[in-house]
Each structure stands twice: as structure tokens, then as C-alpha cells.
């Protein structure tokens, strides 16, 4: 065993055994042959154990919207750990849980006034689905149990989330999943939407696919529809103009709840607190996670409209109204992190900053058009995606090669989904750093041609 603290830190920074950790959503064998290791972070950069800077083009995993290791957030977490490490939120409570709920509800549009806390986006979606079915039960429509998702949708990795999700690889290994789930068609057409900045003009009519599903199953069997306002993990698919408004109208016509999965799009990513605000659509529930604490401490939740919450508030007042929850719901450290993060967003105007930077970001990423193998580019808010042509008989190989080259050769972190490269930087990115991202991406795309 090492005898000094510096030796211990060195051992942690550069582990000599990578085998025990079964890494999530990772090509484990390829990674362990050539690791992409990170040991610290600050503001817009990660740093390798060798202290090489890597520009964060992905906000970690769509989550570090305020940038890395912000002093005020770190201090809030440290102070909370020293004051109250844990408190149960089953039949007890602590003040910061109520404070965070109030702050988040105040950011949400309309009467989305109540927050049920979870620990991740996956838990948030499963919670929202349960609330939707339970709500229909308590209002006397127990036949409404069917859940409707969308092709290419990503809603976490719980059984509920992968059931309503529409990404094949996330579903195919795990059996029949939840019964009675159906899926609307996705919203992307390269023929009609290629190289669009913001929301594409074509595609609002695709919302009418919900009418087809209602005609097949009958509205009396359908509890809720869940969509990402912007489909993120599948490769950044902004909603067509008018699509979400049309979907809201169809749900209203048939008495179906509409759930927005804003785990990615919430907290400034699209230039507003929530995408619901950007698009002027009030869903019945919003799921959130990631940016609520800028990724510092796990936290998620479900925003619920007042009428849904009120429907449960019946019977004896000493009875539990919803038999659901998590040990770590509204964990004190997560609440402290969220409050400090929301302060940063407010004090630095980061949501407004994202909106201001959106056209600059769009121009920079679209400047990659015309490079070898670039089939399409999509941007919305501070999000971008570049579709690369697949190598013959090796789908995903060019995207993975680009991921590696970006990290090792260019000092840039990107995400690859198959042969799509996604970029989602922290909202603190500067105009110069936007230019740097585009320059590095250009070199990477040429290198993998």
C-alpha cells in the first residue's frame, strides 16, 4: 500500500485495474483498451490525470449547465453535509425540500405548481407514468391505463421508461416490457428537414398520428402521452413548428394527459427554464433532472398541474394519498445543490444567455456543412448534432472514431450516438469557445473521413 497521501491520490487518478467497473452505456472492452480518463473539472473544462485540458462540449451528460465546480454550489454542498447529512421525507421533512420545490414550481409555466422529487430522470419518468395511471384511477377512469410514447424517444432506463421509449437497442434485450404501450411516429425526415436551424417548418402534421392510435385503442383506454419536446439522446431532433401545440390539442380533445420529458431540455438548454415555455405549451406533467443541480448531486422530479395533485387530496387527512417515493427523494445535499444552482442561473442570467448565444452557436455548428461525410446538421438552443455517413458494413464506427479522436487528439468531449455526434455545452460557454468547438469538430470530421 502507498505510504503517502499523494501516492494514494495518484493511485486513484490512474487506477491499475479497470476490470471491476461494468461501465454504463459504454463499449467496455474498447474503453479499457484505450481509456478516456477524467480526474477533475473547472468551468468549461475537464482535465485528465496528466492535467491535459479537455473542452466540455457535452455539459458532462447534458447536465452541467452552470459549468463545472462552481464555488457557490460546492460551498453549499459542503455546508449541507456538515449540517444535515440525511433526513427522511416519508412522514417527515426538512426545510430545503420545500424551498426547492417552491423555486422550481415558480419557474414552471401555468399551474404546474407541485413537485414530486426523485433521484434521476429515469425515476422521474416512471414516477410520472405511475401518477398518470393513479390519477385516472382516483378520478373514476380506471380503464385509462395505456401509455403512449414515440419512436426514437428516450425516457431513461426503468421498465416504464424503456417501454414508452422508442430506441431499439434500449428495448430489445429486456423482454416484453409493460403491456399496452404504443408509439407514435418520430418527427424526423432528412428529406424535408436537413440542415435546419431551430425548429423545422415541415412535420407538424405528424402529431396527427396520435389520432390514429386513439382510433385503434379508444381514448377511454389511454392514460397519458409522453414525449421529449426536443428528442435528445436519439440525435437531437427539434420539434417541427406547431407539432407540440397540435399534440396538446389532440390530448385535450380525448382527455389524455400530456407529459413532457424535460430531463435534457429543462433549466436553460433551449433558452428558457423549460421547453414548455419556449413553445408556449403547458403539459400536464414535466419531468426534470440533470440541470436542476448542474449535475453535482443526483436529483430529479416531476412537476404536476394543480388539478392532478388536488385529485389525490381526498379521504382522511392522515392517510397517505400516493403510495410512491424513494428513500433519497429530496436528499438534503441535493436540495442544497439545487438551491445554489438555481441562484447561479438567476444571478448570471444563464437561461437568457443561452437564448442570446443560440444564433451564434447555430452558425458555428452549421459551418461544418460540406465537410466529408456530413449528411445533416441540426441545432436548437445550445444543442447541436452532426450526422456522419456510416462506413460500409460498420454502422457506428465512424462516430466512435470521432469520439476518440476528439478526446485524445483535439481535447474536446463530444457524444456519439451511432454515427451522430452531439454537442451540448455548458451555458457558460463563450463565443470564442463556440468557435473553438467548431474548429476542433472540423478537424475531427476530416480525420475520420
- Name the 3-class secondary structure at 291: helix
How many residues are given for the chain?
A: 449
Residue 4 neighbours by CB under 8 Å, 6+ apart: none
Tens of pLDDT, residue by residue over 292-349, are 999 999 999 999 999 999 999 999 999 999 999 999 999 999 999 999 999 999 999 9
What's the pLDDT band for 9 if we cut at 50, 70, 90?
A: very low
383, with CB counted inside 10 A (0-12, 13-18, 19+), is buried
**Highest CATH level, class, for 74-347:** alpha beta
What's the pLDDT band for 209 if we cut at 50, 70, 90?
A: very high
Tens of pLDDT, residue by residue over 418-437, are 999 999 999 999 999 999 99
- How many CB atoms within 10 Å of residue 228? 25
Query: Which segments of the chain belong to CATH 3.90.1150.10?
Result: 5-66+349-447
Contact status, residue 228 vs residue 269, Cβ threshold 8 Å: no
Over residues 202-210, the mean pLDDT reads 98
Put simply, whether the predicted model's pTM sits higher than 0.85 gets the answer yes
Beta bridge partners of 286: 260, 303
Tens of pLDDT, residue by residue over 399-418, are 999 999 999 999 999 999 99
Give the N- to C-terminal CA distance of the chain in Å, as an integer.
Answer: 47
Residue 139 phi, psi dihedral angles, 5° rounding: -100, 15
**Highest CATH level, class, for 5-66+349-447:** alpha beta
Query: Which segments of the chain belong to CATH 3.40.640.10?
Result: 74-347
d(CA 227, CA 210): 12
Tens of pLDDT, residue by residue over 108-132, are 999 999 999 999 999 999 999 999 9
Beta bridge partners of 258: 225
- How many CB atoms within 10 Å of residue 218? 13
Amino acid at each position: 500500500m502507498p505510504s503517502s497521501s499523494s501516492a494514494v491520490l495518484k493511485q486513484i487518478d490512474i487506477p491499475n485495474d479497470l476490470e471491476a467497473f461494468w461501465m454504463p452505456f459504454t463499449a467496455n472492452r474498447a474503453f479499457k483498451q484505450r481509456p478516456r480518463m477524467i480526474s477533475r473539472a473547472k468551468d468549461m473544462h475537464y482535465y485528465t490525470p496528466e492535467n491535459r485540458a479537455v473542452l466540455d462540449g457535452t455539459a458532462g451528460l447534458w447536465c452541467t449547465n452552470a459549468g463545472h465546480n462552481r464555488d457557490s454550489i460546492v460551498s453549499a454542498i459542503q455546508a449541507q453535509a456538515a449540517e444535515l447529512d440525511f433526513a427522511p421525507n416519508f412522514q417527515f421533512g426538512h426545510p430545503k425540500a420545500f424551498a426547492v420545490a417552491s423555486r422550481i414550481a415558480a419557474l414552471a409555466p401555468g399551474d404546474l405548481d407541485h413537485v414530486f422529487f426523485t433521484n434521476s430522470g429515469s425515476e422521474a419518468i416512471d414516477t410520472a407514468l405511475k401518477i398518470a395511471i393513479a390519477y385516472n384511477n382516483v378520478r373514476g377512469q380506471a380503464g385509462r391505463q395505456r401509455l403512449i410514447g414515440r419512436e426514437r424517444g428516450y425516457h431513461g432506463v426503468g421498465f416504464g421508461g424503456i417501454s414508452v421509449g422508442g430506441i431499439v437497442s434500449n428495448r430489445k434485450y429486456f423482454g416484453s416490457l409493460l403491456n399496452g404501450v404504443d408509439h407514435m411516429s418520430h418527427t424526423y425526415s432528412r428529406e424535408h428537414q436537413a440542415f435546419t436551424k431551430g425548429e423545422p417548418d415541415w412535420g407538424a402534421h405528424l402529431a396527427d398520428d396520435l389520432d390514429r392510435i386513439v382510433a385503434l385503442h379508444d381514448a377511454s383506454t389511454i392514460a397519458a402521452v409522453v414525449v421529449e419536446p426536443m428528442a435528445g439522446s436519439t440525435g437531437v431532433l427539434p420539434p417541427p413548428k406547431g407539432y407540440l401545440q397540435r399534440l396538446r390539442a389532440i390530448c385535450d380533445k380525448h382527455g389524455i394527459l400530456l407529459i413532457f420529458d424535460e430531463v435534457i431540455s429543462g433549466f436553460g438548454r433551449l433558452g428558457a427554464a423549460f421547453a414548455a415555455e419556449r413553445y408556449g405549451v403547458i403539459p400536464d406533467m414535466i419531468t426534470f433532472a440533470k440541470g436542476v443541480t448542474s449535475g453535482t448531486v443526483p436529483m430529479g422530479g416531476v412537476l404536476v398541474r394543480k388539478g392532478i395533485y388536488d385529485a389525490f387530496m381526498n379521504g382522511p387527512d392522515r392517510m397517505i394519498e400516493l403510495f410512491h417515493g424513494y428513500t433519497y427523494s429530496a436528499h438534503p445535499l441535493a436540495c442544497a445543490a439545487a438551491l445554489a444552482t438555481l441562484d447561479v442561473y438567476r444571478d448570471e442570467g444563464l437561461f437568457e444567455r443561452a437564448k442570446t448565444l443560440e444564433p451564434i452557436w447555430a452558425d458555428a455548428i452549421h459551418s461544418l456543412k460540406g465537410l466529408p461525410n456530413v449528411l445533416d446538421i441540426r441545432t436548437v438552443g445550445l444543442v447541436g448534432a452532426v450526422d456522419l455517413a456510416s462506413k460500409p458494413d460498420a454502422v457506428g464506427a465512424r462516430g466512435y472514431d470521432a469520439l476518440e479522436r476528439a478526446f485524445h487528439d483535439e481535447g474536446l468531449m463530444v457524444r456519439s450516438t451511432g454515427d451522430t455526434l452531439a454537442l451540448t455545452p455548458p451555458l457558460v460557454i463563450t463565443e470564442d469557445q463556440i468557435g473553438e468547438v467548431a474548429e476542433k469538430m472540423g478537424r475531427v470530421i476530416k480525420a475520420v473521413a
